[in-house]
Amino acid sequence: MTSELSPDAQAILLLTAPLLIGVRAARNSVLPLSDSEYASLALRIRTLGARPERLLDDDIADLADLCADLIERSRLESLLARGFLLAQALERWQSRGIWVTTRADATYPKRVKTHLGNAAPPVLYGCGHVELLTSDPIVVLAVLDASDAALNDGSDVILVTAGLEQAALRPAFRAPLSERRLVLISPFDPSLRDIDPTTCDQLIAALTAR
């Protein structure tokens, strides 16, 4: 799935993902859009009758100018110019079995968009059986609950975590991942571990909402 990104998904990743590639991340001076900034921009673009993919066109001057009160045009253009960095990030994620789904994709869990609305994370990173994101009923856990019996009793499980790259390598997850009954997801870049847990808590609440 990661290798077949839609144009909308490419634009969303370029705008919002930090695209952390080892030490090169420290040299990246362009600040990605926050969730709230992207939500405002997405609403403006939709109001103008366009989609995120429109920002990938060679000539976005008119659209960028119409959004300049939300996001400075130079910042927008710098973020969209990170195509090579995105390709490197996609290669790294794919080599680790990590995929992405964005709010523009059918695989993005509808209940997250329904429950969180414009506050839904623009991108979710994952590892495992992506179809579990749209399954019901299902067990949803935080990574700290990884010893929960649900991982061992055959239940289908969504595990919300930070530090996705490291979590995907945990021995306890190997069997459920290979049996396609576990999916790990994170609203953060796969290499990030030190994050505000509030976002994960909100994601868990949305995934368990009925």
pLDDT in tens, 111-168: 999 999 988 999 999 999 999 988 876 788 876 555 566 777 788 899 998 889 988 8
CATH 3.40.50.450 residue ranges for the chain: 98-208
Residue 179 CA from chain centroid, whole number? 23
Task: Fold for 98-208, please state it.
Answer: Rossmann fold (3.40.50)
By C-alpha distance, which of 179, 206, 186 is closest to 18? 186
More confident residue, 3 or 119: 119
Assess contact for 101 and 108: CB atoms under 8 A: yes
pLDDT score for 88 = 93
The structure's pTM equals 0.90
Roughly what angle, to the nearest 10 degrees, separates helices 7-16 and 83-95?
A: 100
Residue 167 near residue 96 (C-beta atoms within 8 A) = no
Per-residue pLDDT at 149: 64
Beta bridge partners of 101: 124
